[in-house]
Amino acid sequence: MAYEFVGYPNCSVNTFGQTYDIVKAVNRESVGMVLDCFHFHAMGSRLEDLQKADAKKIFIFHIDDAEDLPVGALRDHQRLWPGEGAIDLDSILKTLKEIGYNEMVSVELFRPEYWDWDIEEAIKVGKQKTETIVGKYFEIE
C-alpha cells in the first residue's frame, strides 16, 4: 500500500514528513508512500525530511510542476508539465538520487486544458518534458 499525502490545508496529513512518520510507525514492508512533487511543494514539505527518508519506502513517484502560488493556495488544476513551473524539481530529484531511489516515475497532471490536447501529442510532450528533467539525475531505460 502506498499512502499519498495531499498538499491542501484542510487535509489532516498534508506533508511528506507527516506521511513518512506514519509509514515508519506502521513499520510494515508492504506499506510505503507516494511522493508527488505537486503535493510536496503545495504545503511546503521540507527537503530535509526527504533527505532522511529510506528510498525503499517511496513506492510511487509522481512528477509534475505547478504555478507559482503561496503555500496552501495550489489546487490540482494548477499543475504544469515538469520543468515549466515553480517546483524545485532539481532539488527533489537530486535528493532522490542521493538517498538511492531508482524506481518508477509517472507524470500526474490534472490541468483541464491538457485534456483537450491530441492524446499522441500529450504523450509525446509528457515523455519529453519528463525525460529532460529526470535525465539530469537518472539513467533513463
The per-residue pLDDT for 121 is 97
Q: Position 92: which residue type?
A: I
Average model confidence (pLDDT) across the chain = 97
pTM for this model (two decimals): 0.96
Query: What confidence tens digit (pLDDT) does each residue in 36-90 have?
Result: 999 999 999 999 999 999 999 999 999 999 999 999 999 999 999 999 999 999 9
Per cent of the chain over pLDDT 70 is 100
Adjacency order of strands within the sheet including 32-36: 2-4, 32-36, 58-63, 106-107
Fold designation for 2-134: TIM Barrel (3.20.20)
Among 74, 64, 90, 105, which Cα is nearest to 11's?
74
pLDDT given at position 141: 81
What SS3 class is residue 122? Answer: helix
